[in-house]
Amino acid sequence: MRIVVVGTGYVGLVAGVCFADSGHTVVCVDVDEKKIASLRQGETPFYEPGLEELLQKNVAAERISFSTTLADAVRASDVVFIAVGTPQRDDGDADLRAAMSVAHQIASSAERYLVVVNKSTVPVGTAARMQAEIAARAKVGIDVVSNPEFLKEGAAIDDFLRPDRIVIGSRSERARAIMAELYAPFVRTESPIYFMDPGSAELTKYAANAMLATRISFMNDVAMLCERVGADMDSVRKAMGADERIGQKFLFPGCGYGGSCFPKDVKALIATARNHGLDFTLLSAVDAVNDRQKRLLAQKAKAHFGAGNLRGRKFGVWGLAFKPKTDDLRHAPALALIDELLADGAVVSAHDPVAMDNARGHYGDRIHFVNNPYLAVDGADALFLVTEWNEFRQPDFVRIKAAMKQPVLFDGRNIWNAQRLRELGFAYYGVGRAA
């Protein structure tokens, strides 16, 4: 098929490259001329394992190309994916202006039947609205389909090529048949395709992310209780997860979730409920717990050193991205920690394997960036572990202790052995672990 993907962010670029790799002819469209120029050279605008290699392969094979001209691309296409941003507005609702603008341009440019696929995360009712507005502008038949993505940053290629499920919302049998053919190569191992109405597909995306966020915030509350009563979070988590109704996934406490999906989607679902007269109390609490959790490590530091006693102290921070295997800083817990440390007059020295360029753009010279994680602890009063990159799991703690001014560790992901570290002479603070 001839596919157009509008938007070259995480969702759009991954989709375009993976469709091209399965043999389709793909044109990715973006208004950012600089980004398009880089993509033509096989350079990705963000870090995602395996993506740049797959991009270069398909550019060389001439299965994927890049353009800033949407109209020309649409005229030659069978399917157009909309994968533009839907940022959160001040009231929590999603801002649909970019997505609707693209839909209007598609309607004005189409010269024959095509399927418009909403890959962006959008509130319930968006497909219906888009269908109506396209129909009012188009001279040919166009069907709008909702096809939410469930990609995990850091594993997006594998998630797209080997999905655990595909969700397609459409009221058109013709569009359903086209989408089934399009995704056939990715479901050969019997991964299910769930066909449903567009509204249900749109809500599925929000509900899935909200459920995962709920599990995280619930466990963070349990971790806080463990600290108060002297229980061990790791023991509680493992025993809970043994219940097959619960399972082990997303039961790890920490210093909060971040990224482009969970924070925005939780707020958007709360706003959707509010717009329909429903007070989604549970999700409001999930959101509030996460905001609190992002301040947890700073609060532990203030408790250790004394309130108002952080000024002039040097702190090392390991991990800036919101999770490993990405350079994404959106809503990253490390930013909340660093902001609070800076507000209290502390000096911050930070390291992340791939996210430091993005962090430099955010902080400038307000914090120190080091290319080696051990340099971040040189003369430090404490070290904060915020993102659980593999290279941080088994560091040389003897070397760390020798380099630090004070041997104090704040483990925001519970990846280190608390007993061993205390035996080495560290003051160790985890999440939900007894002091």
Residue found by looking up tokens 């109704």 in the block: 245
The residues, ordered by sequence, that sit 6+ positions from 394 with a Cβ below 8 Å of its Cβ are: none
Among residues 18, 28, 255, 261, which one is catalytic?
Answer: 261
Could you confirm whether 18 is annotated as catalytic? no
Residue type at position 255: C
Number of H helices, E strands in the chain: 17, 14
How many CB atoms are closer than 10 A to CB 100?
18
d(CA 156, CA 48): 7
Question: Are the beta carbons of 401 and 425 closer than 8 angstroms?
Answer: yes
Partnered with residue 429 across adjacent β-strands are 410
Question: Are the beta carbons of 179 and 115 closer than 8 angstroms?
Answer: yes
Question: Quick one: which of 300, 263, 222, 215 has its CA closest to 92?
Answer: 263
| Phi/psi of residue 384, nearest 5 degrees | -110, 125
Partnered with residue 79 across adjacent β-strands are 3, 115
Q: Which amino acids are annotated catalytic? A: 261
